[in-house]
């Protein structure tokens, strides 16, 4: 009978050991399966993130391009306005300068100072007289 009890005890220990080994193997396989599944799904998730990032980047570039185009249009408009304003300012400055020159010339004339035109006219007449005197001197 001692043999039977010993045999039952050995069989129970063997069965328990086999059960532990079986469970350990199942846990190991479950871990490998989880690792594989996470690897696959993780890769898919990364691909989804990449696609989402590309979409956002594309939209961002489009928005930046639109804003840049609008800013350039505003700059061109401002340049046009400045150019128009500059032309008006130059025209007004020319008018002011001419009015100033006219008033100065008038004031100088009133006090007896000849204008540039007067001096040039007088100089031309002097040249004519000099030429006439030289001709007369040669004939004599």
Chain segment 75-123, per-residue pLDDT in tens: 999 999 989 988 899 999 999 999 998 898 888 888 888 888 888 999 9
Higher per-residue confidence, 83 vs 47: 83
Report the percent of the chain where pLDDT is more than 70. 90
The angle subtended at Cα 79 by Cα 76 and Cα 83, nearest 5°, is 140
pLDDT at 16 over 80: no
The parent domain of residue 9 ranges over 2-139
The position carrying tokens 């700059």 is: 75
| Claim: this prediction has a pTM higher than 0.85 | no
Distance, CA of 56 to CA of 59 (rounded, Å): 5
Give Cα 20 distance to the centre of its chain: 69
Q: Is 122 within 8 Å of 114 (Cβ atoms)?
A: yes
How many domains does the chain divide into? 1
Establish how many alpha carbons lie within 13 A of residue 62's alpha carbon, considering only the half-sphere containing its beta carbon.
Answer: 6
């Amino acid at each position: 009978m001692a043999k039977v009890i010993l045999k039952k005890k050995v069989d129970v220990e063997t069965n328990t050991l086999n059960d532990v080994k079986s469970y350990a193997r199942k846990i190991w396989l479950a871990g490998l399966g989880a690792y594989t599944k996470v690897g696959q799904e993780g890769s898919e998730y990364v691909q989804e993130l990449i696609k989402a990032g590309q979409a956002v980047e594309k939209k961002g570039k489009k928005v930046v391009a639109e804003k840049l185009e609008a800013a350039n249009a505003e700059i061109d408009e401002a340049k046009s306005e400045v150019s128009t304003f500059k032309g008006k300012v130059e025209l007004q400055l020319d008018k002011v300068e001419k009015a100033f020159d006219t008033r100065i010339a008038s004031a100088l004339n009133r006090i007896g100072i000849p204008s540039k035109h007067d001096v040039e006219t007088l100089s031309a007449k002097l040249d004519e007289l000099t030429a006439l005197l030289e001709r007369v001197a040669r004939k004599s």
